[in-house]
Amino acid sequence: MNTNFKSWPILLALGLTSVPLVTMYAYMIIDTVTVSPPGSFIPNGISFGSWSFLWEAPAPGRPSIWSVTLNTFIFACVSTLMALSVSLTGGYALSRLHLPFRGFFLGGLIVLHAFPTITLIIAIFLILQMVGLYDTLAGVILVKAALEIPFGVWIMKGFYDTVPWEIEMAGLTDGATRFTVWRKLVLPQVQPGITALGIFAFLSGWSEFILPQVLAPGADAQVLGVYLQSLISDDTSMDFAKFKSVGVFYAIPVILIYILFNKHLMNIYGGGTKG
């Protein structure tokens, strides 16, 4: 970047502070495919034994990894689709349409956007019990999608705001209905927003732990986060290689998404205020 200054002191400082993380990443992978003698971290053999959870029948009382993965996938995808579609319509309404109490909705959106949703989990738990959605995948999906909405509507409103009014006006005078204008002319303009929000919501759903743990703890609705955590907390042998294999399996989609979309990710994690 800058030729007037030496860069090696910086490299040294950054390198040293990064040692813990790099070690953790490296052994995350190494431990899943090697064996090391006790008391040492230098592998002396290759072994894929810790990956046996992929093909072996699960321990009694534990669901199969594949049904858990399917649950996680359904959870992440459906909640993303819901959050996306609701944000797409809601953001458009707030950005462009006539609404009674428009100012009130906008103010409410900003307040909700900043509001820490996790504080509501106790009440949500009780509400789900009362409406009978407790311990169902549908229930957690609904909650997860709903909690993403203020953020999603906010982001999408921002994208809609940048679409020129004249495009919509032209569409109307060309004979299209307001709905067609939205669907055919405006949505294509906010494509980057859809991608960004979609990736964000998928990652957030895929990684989710507390909501499924609290709202759907049963084996039928278990997701990977809950599965891995229960594996760790139930196991007395501290078989880190096994945990890590499950962990790496769990992280594959995240890493893929990072590699494919890392520009989008930096933007949405930096631009939005999502913690």
Partner 1 sequence: MRIELKNFKKTFGDITVIEDMSLSLESGEMLALLGPSGCGKSTTLFAICGIHRMTGGQLLFGDRDVTLVPSQQRNVGVVFQNYALYPHMNAYENIAFPLMIRKEDRKTIEKKVSEIAALVHIGELMERKPAQLSGGQQQRVALARALVREPDILLLDEPLANLDAKLRLEMRSEIRRIQQQTGITAILVTHDQVEAMSMCDRIAIMNKGDIVQLSSPQDMYQNPNSEFVASFLGNPPIAFLDGVVTDGGVQLASSEALLPLRGQHGLPSSGMPIRLGIRPEHFQPENPLKVTGRISFVETQGREELYDVTLSNGSVLRSIQRQGGGYHLGDEVSWGIAENQILAFDASGARLHMGALA
Partner 2 sequence: MRRTDLFGLGFMAPALILTIMFFLAPVVMTGVYSFTNMSTATGISGGAYLISPATIRSLTEQGFQGDAIERLSSESYVVDEAGLEAAEAAGYTPRFIAEIRSTLLGDTFTGRRDFERALKDLSHRPRSIRDLKKATELFQKSVLNVRFETEADFQSALSSLNLNLSPAEAVFLTETAYTGWIWTSANYDRAVNLPSTYRATANSAIYVTFTLAFNVGFGLFLAITTFYLPSGQAAFFRTIWFLPRILPPVLYVLMWKWLTWDTGFLSTLLSHFGVPPHNLMKHTATHAWVVVVLINGFVGASMGMILFSSAIRSIPQSMLHASEVDGANRWQQVRYIILPQLRWPILFTTAYQTLSLLTSFEYILLSTNGGPGSATNVWALYAFKIALNNYGGNLEYGYGAALAMVLVIIGIIASLFYLRLFNFKSMITSPRIEQ
Residues in 147-206 at the binding interface with partner 2, rule: CB under 8 A:
147, 149-150, 153, 165, 168-169, 172, 178, 203, 206
Does the protein bind partner 2 through residue 10 (CB under 8 A)?
yes
With respect to partner 2, which residue has the nearer C-beta, 3 or 57?
3
Residue of 35, 59, 114, 172 interacting with partner 1 (CB under 8 A): 172
Among 170, 254, 255, 256, binds partner 1 (CB under 8 A): 170
- CA-CA distance, 273 to 155, in Å (whole number)? 10
Q: Which residues contact 110 (CB under 8 A, 6 or more apart)?
A: 154
Helices in the chain by DSSP H: which ranges? 8-33, 65-96, 102-114, 121-131, 137-161, 165-173, 178-180, 191-207, 210-215, 224-234, 240-271
- Select the binding partner of residue 170 from partner 1, partner 2, none (C-beta < 5 to 8 A, by kind): partner 1
Picked from partner 2, partner 1, none, the partner binding residue 127 (CB below 5 to 8 A depending on kind) is partner 2
- Number of residues that make up the chain: 275
Please state, in angstroms and rounded to a whole number, the distance separating the CA atoms of residues 64 and 222: 10
Asked if 145 is part of the footprint of partner 2 (rule: CB under 8 A), the reply reads yes
Secondary structure class of 194 (helix, strand, coil)? helix
Q: Binders of partner 2 among 43-82, rule CB under 8 A?
A: none
Alpha carbon distance 268, 126 (integer Å): 33
What does 167 bind: partner 1, partner 2, none (CB cut-off 5 to 8 Å by kind)?
partner 1
Q: How far is the CB of 175 from partner 1 (least distance, A)?
A: 5
Q: Does residue 175 belong to the site contacting partner 1 (CB under 8 A)?
A: yes
Residue 257: CB atoms within 10 A of its CB come to: 17
Q: What Rg value do the Cα atoms of the chain yield, rounded?
A: 23
Pick from partner 1, partner 2, none: which does 185 bind, CB < 5 to 8 A by kind?
A: partner 1
Measure Cα distances from 156 to 33, 87, 117, 264, 270 in Å. 43, 6, 20, 14, 16
Site map 108..137 versus partner 2, x via CB under 8 A: x-xxxxxxxxxxxxxxxxxx-xx-------
Does residue number 97 form part of the binding site for partner 1 (CB under 8 A)?
A: no
Q: Which of residues 201-230 bind partner 2 (CB under 8 A)?
A: 203, 206-207, 209-210, 214, 224-225, 228-229
Kindly tell me which residue out of 45, 164, 270, 275 binds partner 1, with binding defined by CB under 8 A. 164
Query: C-alpha distances in angstroms, 192 versus 106, 129, 189, 195, 218?
Result: 23, 38, 8, 5, 37
List the one residue from 161, 174, 220, 235 that touches partner 1 (CB under 8 A): 174
Nearer residue to partner 2 within complex by CB, 67 or 230? 230
User: Residues 100, 132, 236, 252: which binds partner 2 (CB under 8 A)?
Assistant: 100
First to last CA, the chain: 29
**Which residues contribute to the site for partner 1 (CB under 8 A)?**
164, 166-167, 169-177, 180, 185, 188-189, 191
